Every structure is written in structure tokens, then in C-alpha cells.
Amino acid sequence: MKNQITREEVENIAWLAHIELTEEEKKIFTEQFNKILDFFKKINEVDTEHVPPTYHVLDISNVERQDEVGESLPQTETLKNAPKKEDGFFKSPRIV
């Protein structure tokens, strides 16, 4: 496994992201990326064999409200803020 991010790889990442970096920034980012990789190495050392996967940090299931049938808004109220309307409907640009 590769251990270090090189300066050339930082330059390539910056080029892909369309970011211009100074020589000092290239040095700083190279050091920071390598510190991040070192941290992941430490995490990989932890024994997680008996730890179940976590899909969400909070124990919540569904925070959405129930669908309930209710009264609809009147057509005039619904179209009140529409930028364009025609014959009681929203009007949108033609998409071909």
C-alpha cells in the first residue's frame, strides 16, 4: 500500500480541481494529505470485527410525517405566486 502523497500528486489534484496553488500551498497540502492518511492508518488498526455497521449516527428510523388526505388549496391560491399561468394551470417553457 502506498504510504505518502507526493507533491506531484497534489499538483495533479489541484489541476483536476482547477485550483492554482502557490509553492507554499503545495507544501502545506502535501503535509496535510499525508497527516490525513496517517490518521486513517490508525483507524485501520482498530479491531472492529464484532462491531455492527453503523448507517446513521443517531438511532432514528423515519422522521417523515404520515401521508394524510386533506383539503387542497384553492386554484387561485395555488397559482397566486406562479410567474406564468394560462387557463388555470402553471405555464412552463416548452422543452423539446
* Residues 6+ away with beta carbon under 8 Å from 51: none
Sequential pLDDT tens for the chain (96 residues):
466 999 999 999 999 999 999 999 999 999 999 999 999 899 889 998 898 888 777 777 777 888 899 999 999 999 999 999 999 999 998 887
* Stretch (H or E) spanning 7: helix 7-16
Q: What does the pLDDT read at residue 83?
A: 92
Q: What domains can you pick out in the chain, each with its CATH number?
A: 7-44 (1.10.20)
Judged on CB neighbours under 10 Å (0-12, 13-18, 19+), 45 is exposed
Which grid cell sits at 57? 449516527
pLDDT of residue 57: 78
